């Protein structure tokens, strides 16, 4: 399944879901996070995330005040998320 949703600063995001597999994707050149998951029993497997920039690089004048330190792949308010075989390249 190739699923790419363009929402704000991350490339793949799913919320309020149950048992959705996100597999075999390539996420390239994004700010903040590559994959963000919430919900229950979602499966994140065999994804490559390359070139993720810290959100402060987009606005260097405000970087000293930026407290957003998201990961390349992360789960927020999720229950029983399985994340396996993760590949990260050039995460700044």
Q: Tell me the per-residue pLDDT of 19-67, one tens digit each, with 9 for 90 and over.
A: 989 898 888 888 788 888 888 998 888 888 888 877 777 777 877 887 7
Q: Does residue 85 form part of some domain?
A: yes
Residues 6+ apart with CB under 8 A from 72: 33, 34, 35, 49, 52, 88, 91
Given this model, what pLDDT does residue 10 score? 65
Q: Does residue 75 form part of some domain?
A: yes
Q: Which domain holds residue 42?
A: 12-91
Q: Does residue 66 form part of some domain?
A: yes
In this predicted structure, the answer to whether residue 4 has a pLDDT above a threshold of 60 is: no
Given this model, what pLDDT does residue 90 score? 67
Q: Does residue 2 form part of some domain?
A: no
Number of domains in the chain: 1
Q: Does residue 80 form part of some domain?
A: yes
In this predicted structure, the answer to whether residue 3 has a pLDDT above a threshold of 50 is: no
Please say whether the beta carbons of 15 and 38 come within 8 A: yes
Q: Does residue 20 form part of some domain?
A: yes
Q: Does residue 1 form part of some domain?
A: no
pLDDT band at 9 (very low <50, low <70, confident <90, very high): low
Which has more pLDDT, 54 or 8? 54
Given this model, what pLDDT does residue 76 score? 80
Q: Does residue 4 form part of some domain?
A: no
């Amino acid at each position: 399944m190739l699923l790419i949703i363009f929402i704000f600063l991350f490339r793949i995001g799913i919320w309020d879901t149950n048992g959705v597999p996100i597999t075999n994707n390539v996420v390239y050149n994004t700010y903040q996070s590559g994959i963000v998951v919430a919900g229950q029993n979602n499966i994140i497997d065999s994804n490559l995330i390359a070139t993720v920039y810290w959100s402060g690089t987009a606005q260097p004048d405000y970087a000293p005040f930026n407290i957003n330190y998201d990961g390349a792949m992360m789960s927020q308010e999720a229950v029983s998320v399985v994340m396996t075989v993760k590949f990260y390249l050039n995460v700044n």
